[in-house]
Amino acid sequence: MLNIVVCDVDNKFLDTLEEKIKDYLSRNPNLKFQTLRFLNAESLLEKDISDIDIIFMGVQLQTMTGIDAATILRQKSEHFILIFVSNFIEYAPLGYQVNASRYIIKDQLEQFFAEAMTTALSELELHSNKINIDEIIYMESNLHKVHFKLTNSDRSLYLYGTLNGMQNKLAQDHFVRIHQSYLVNLKHLINAKNYKATLTQGIELPISQNLFSKVKQRLLTYKTSI
């Protein structure tokens, strides 16, 4: 069961947000979910959020800001995905101080909602699969999915999302983009030569010409740091 909180002072906006969530998640009929609605931060802060997966949070919440509320919620749990929805762009930098996944301006919800949900579900699935970064040899984009090549060859993992989204969420010093379609774990990158990447398990992948110099430099920097 996917548990999603929507919290904002505007009832009509919450109607719109819940409808978008329902429409998006209806693409997967096997996924069960529920939304919990809050019109103020105080009611949300009183709730046990240990089973909450995603929180859509407004910024102006009567007696406190959504930033302040999220700060308190983060003290209770680090596991939920936080997405701010607001009319106030000036709060965006503060949002990321409480590990917000996205900060969406309300009148741009139509444009950015689907991407935010896709990223949130991918993060949740990655967490639930308990993948250690060292297990990832490389990631490959495949339409709207990312295939994780893992050290355990018997285990396959496909997540909805993009390589750009994955790259933004993973430790930048562990991964390098070698191609439009490939993101490689430097721990498993043995050599970069003749526009080819040699990885552990005898894997070879192409390196884009425009990325080749950067890949070689990143590999050298990584090897001298360990």
pLDDT of residue 92: 86
pLDDT of residue 30: 77
Pair 81, 100: CB distance under 8 Å? no
pLDDT of residue 155: 65
Write out the H or E segment, with its range, that includes residue 35: strand 33-38
pLDDT of residue 53: 93
Cα dihedral 29, 34, 37, 43, rounded to 10, equals -160
Q: Which tokens belong to 157? A: 């993992």
Please give the Cα distance from 222 to 226 (Å, whole number): 7
Residue 113 corresponds to which amino acid? F
How many Cβ atoms sit within 10 Å of the Cβ of residue 36?
A: 15
Dihedrals φ, ψ of 90, to 5°?
A: -65, -15
Q: Does residue 98 register a pLDDT over 70?
A: yes
Which residue(s) pair with 64 in the sheet? 61
pLDDT tens-digit series, residues 178-216: 999 999 999 999 999 999 999 999 999 999 999 999 999
Q: In terms of Cα–Cα distance, which of 213, 139, 211, 218 is closest to 186? A: 218
Q: Does residue 115 register a pLDDT over 90?
A: no
pLDDT of residue 79: 83
pLDDT of residue 62: 81
pLDDT tens-digit series, residues 79-91: 899 999 999 888 8
Write out the H or E segment, with its range, that includes residue 61: strand 60-61
Strands 54-57 and 157-160: unpaired
CA separation, residue 3 to residues 37, 40, 148, 185 (Å): 11, 18, 26, 32
Write out the H or E segment, with its range, that includes residue 215: helix 212-225
Window from 21-25, 115-119, 197-201 with minimum mean pLDDT: 115-119
Dihedrals φ, ψ of 63, to 5°?
A: -80, -10
Window from 12-21, 95-104, 122-131 with minimum mean pLDDT: 122-131
Window from 22-31, 139-148, 166-175 with minimum mean pLDDT: 166-175
Q: Does residue 154 register a pLDDT over 70?
A: no
Q: How confident is the model at residue 127 (pLDDT cuts 50, 70, 90)?
A: low
Computed over every residue of the chain, the mean pLDDT equals 88
The better pLDDT of the pair 97, 8 is held by 8
Residue 166 corresponds to which amino acid? M
Q: Does residue 139 register a pLDDT over 90?
A: yes
Q: What mean pLDDT comes out for the span 138-142? A: 90
| pTM for this predicted structure | 0.62
